[in-house]
Amino acid sequence: MAADCPHCGLHFERMAGYWLGAMALNLVVTEVVFVVALVVQMTASWPDVPWTRVLVVGVTLNVLVPLAFYPISRTVWVAAERHLSSTWNESAP
């Protein structure tokens, strides 16, 4: 990722730990995908749940989803921060 936006020159990383929110967002999305996949697999095969397949799918999702979603989570985090900072600046007296 570039340090600054090529169009407007915005410096992305404001301070140390700035991307912690993006990592938290990534974690939440990963766990939601995992729980949905777990519930779907268990519901579809109840009462004889193939636990080995559930384990393999769960581990695979918990490795691939964060890798695939992390760039998107960083983009969403910057967009949310920019939106909130502009909202706070407009509402200041």
Task: Give the tens place of pLDDT for each residue, 6-41.
Answer: 888 888 777 888 889 999 999 999 999 999 999 999
SS3 assignment for 47-87 = CCCCHHHHHHHHHHHHHHHHHHHHHHHHHHHHHHHHHHHHH
Give this prediction's pTM.
0.80
Q: Is the pLDDT of residue 79 over 80?
A: yes
Instruction: Write out pLDDT tens, residues 44-70.
Output: 999 999 999 999 999 999 999 999 999
Section 67-83 average pLDDT: 93
Q: Which pLDDT belongs to residue 93?
A: 59
